[in-house]
């Protein structure tokens, strides 16, 4: 949301605390209006640090090529570890009003032909510096809607990638699925191609909410696909949900929680809706007066945590749940959880090769992003150039702060000694101003300060982005945060 809750007139929440807390997050009942006013601010989701809005066009194609070459030559840390590979498919047949992804709305499926040819060109240009046959432990097709592609086109794309990269044993091969665009037969084809993980975009099962965001699909259709996915042998299924959508209420969202719990996906991604209509045109079709207020969003989140835990899920962190037996939950218990541009992950902190329009990758101590429009993307490739448009070479300070922020976001606990040994600094001296602000958060009950450690409290998990923001040097220097979504 853009406005503060005190500006919302008659829809301002009552001063009573939010309810519906779970055993894993009992502090929701302690969250009152004062805390909401103080911490319902704009802030990053920290799928990276520094965040993508800090990328600069001064970052050159040559810098990216050098990073690829250094990895290929084994001269960078982790150069021999398997890669993560992300491919962005931007096309969708219809627009979902809440969407903030880079997408192209079209019913002309022939547009995919040129795009697939461009992806192959980009792969070949990348491999000139990286080398062929690099091992990949995680391959993900996102969008847009990857299932916009036909079965034949998906086969063509997978064949092109497998001719150039090598899947490591046990690799995660996943694809985002729009339930409205697939059938049981299409799921069988995906399984035949080697996909072993599916992510279904659901968002909400309430018909009125679906109508308000222009994405209508029945519970029964999703249920049928989930049953088929299991029978076909997919190793993992994920369901994406969003709370904070127009016309959602704690009561209506509780019904969706129970329906998703009955489907029993292996993982659930639960995102807070980011209403930024000044940046994302489709969101201008949403009636802002119909958006739930911060107090109701806290109630929805607390009820989701409670409901999913009743159904056997572990609360991984800010936006993920997983069955206790799932590898994500195991990684959280063992302290091996990571966070990347797709959210929480079991993969080590590995390099990410990103292909396609607007795709963001990471190689070594650098981030890079491709051109954001198809015209610019195609133009670069037609000139024989990688479509890198901007990026960032990380400094020593960036790398240290990234480690701090990811520890807080992934584990909810930060051990000073681990940062000191890895980055050769004295934590309390290096982060002296930040520790002053952390003490203020401790007084608010968001963290506990222990000798040599910071522990996020159950209540603090609701505001973990605010805790991480303390260590964001760029954000502390720049108070203009309207580019980010609200924390609640």
Q: Which residue ranges make up the annotated binding site for [4Fe-4S] cluster?
A: 92, 96, 99
Q: Which residues are annotated as a binding site?
A: 86, 92, 96, 98-100, 143, 176, 203, 215, 240, 274, 360
User: Phi and psi dihedrals of 342, rounded to 5?
Assistant: -100, 5
Q: Are strands 165-177 and 134-143 parallel, antiparallel or unpaired?
A: parallel
Rounded distance between C-alpha atoms, residue 62 and residue 65, angstroms: 5
Q: Which residues are annotated as a binding site for S-adenosyl-L-methionine?
A: 86, 98-100, 143, 176, 203, 215, 240, 274, 360
| Cα 301 to Cα 128, 260, 293, 397, distances in angstroms | 47, 14, 13, 34
Are residues 193 and 187 in contact, defined by beta-carbon separation less than 8 angstroms? no
- CA 126 to chain CA centroid, Å, is 25
Lookup result for tokens 């976001």: 409
Helix (H) or strand (E) holding 140: strand 134-143
Burial of 216 (0-12, 13-18, 19+ CB in 10 A): exposed
User: Phi and psi dihedrals of 414, rounded to 5?
Assistant: -125, 120
Pull the structure tokens for residue 66. Answer: 């050098």
Are residues 256 and 218 in contact, defined by beta-carbon separation less than 8 angstroms? no
| Cα 354 to Cα 54, 75, 138, 202, 423, distances in angstroms | 18, 21, 12, 25, 28
Q: Which of 217, 53, 181, 28 is nearest to 109 (CA)?
A: 181
DSSP string, 438-469: HHHHHHTTSEEEETTEEEE-TTGGGGHHHHHH
Are residues 161 and 105 in contact, defined by beta-carbon separation less than 8 angstroms? no
Are residues 99 and 140 in contact, defined by beta-carbon separation less than 8 angstroms? no
Pull the structure tokens for residue 134. Answer: 């690099």
């Amino acid at each position: 949301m853009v406005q503060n809750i005190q500006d919302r007139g008659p829809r301002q929440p009552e001063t009573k605390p939010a309810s519906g807390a779970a055993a894993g997050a009992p502090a929701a009942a302690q969250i009152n209006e004062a805390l909401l006013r103080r911490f319902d601010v704009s802030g990053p989701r920290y799928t990276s640090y520094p965040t993508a809005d800090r990328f600069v066009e001064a970052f050159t194609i040559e810098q990216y090529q050098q990073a690829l070459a250094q990895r290929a030559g084994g001269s960078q840390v982790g150069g021999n570890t398997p890669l993560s590979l992300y491919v962005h498919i931007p096309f969708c047949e219809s627009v979902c009003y809440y969407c903030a992804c880079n997408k192209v709305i079209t019913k002309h499926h022939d547009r995919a032909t040129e795009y697939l040819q461009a992806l192959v060109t980009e792969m070949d240009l990348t491999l000139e510096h990286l080398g062929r046959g690099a091992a990949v432990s995680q391959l993900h097709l996102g969008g847009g809607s990857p299932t916009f592609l036909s079965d034949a086109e998906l086969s063509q794309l997978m064949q092109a990638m497998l001719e150039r990269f090598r899947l490591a044993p046990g690799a995660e091969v996943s694809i985002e699925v729009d339930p409205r665009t697939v059938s049981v037969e299409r799921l069988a084809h995906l399984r035949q191609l080697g996909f072993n993980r599916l992510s279904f975009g659901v968002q909400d099962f309430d018909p009125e909410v679906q109508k308000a965001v222009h994405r209508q699909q029945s519970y029964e259709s999703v249920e049928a696909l989930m049953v088929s996915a299991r029978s076909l042998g997919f190793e993992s299924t994920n369901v994406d949900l969003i709370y904070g959508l127009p016309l959602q209420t704690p009561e209506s969202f509780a019904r969706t929680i129970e329906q998703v719990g009955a489907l029993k996906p292996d993982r659930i991604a639960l995102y807070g809706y980011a209403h930024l209509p000044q940046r994302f045109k489709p969101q201008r079709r949403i009636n802002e007066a119909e958006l739930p207020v911060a107090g109701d969003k806290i109630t929805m989140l607390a009820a989701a945590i409670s409901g999913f835990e009743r159904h056997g899920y572990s609360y991984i962190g800010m936006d993920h749940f997983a069955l206790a037996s799932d590898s994500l939950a195991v990684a959280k218990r063992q302290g091996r959880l990571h966070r990347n541009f797709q959210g929480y992950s079991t993969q080590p902190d590995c390099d990410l090769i990103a292909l396609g329009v607007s795709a963001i990758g990471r190689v070594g101590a650098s981030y890079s992003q491709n051109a954001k429009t198809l015209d610019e993307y195609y133009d670069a490739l037609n000139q024989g150039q990688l479509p890198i448009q901007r990026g960032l070479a990380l400094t020593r300070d960036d790398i240290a702060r990234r480690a701090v922020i990811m520890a807080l976001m992934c584990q909810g606990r930060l051990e000073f000694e681990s940062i000191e040994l890895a980055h050769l600094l004295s934590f309390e001296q290096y982060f002296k101003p930040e520790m002053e602000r952390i003490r203020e958060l401790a007084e608010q009950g968001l963290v506990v300060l222990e000798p040599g450690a910071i522990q996020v409290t159950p209540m603090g998990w609701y505001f973990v982005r605010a805790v991480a923001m303390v260590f964001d040097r760029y954000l502390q220097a720049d108070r203009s945060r309207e580019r980010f979504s609200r924390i609640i």
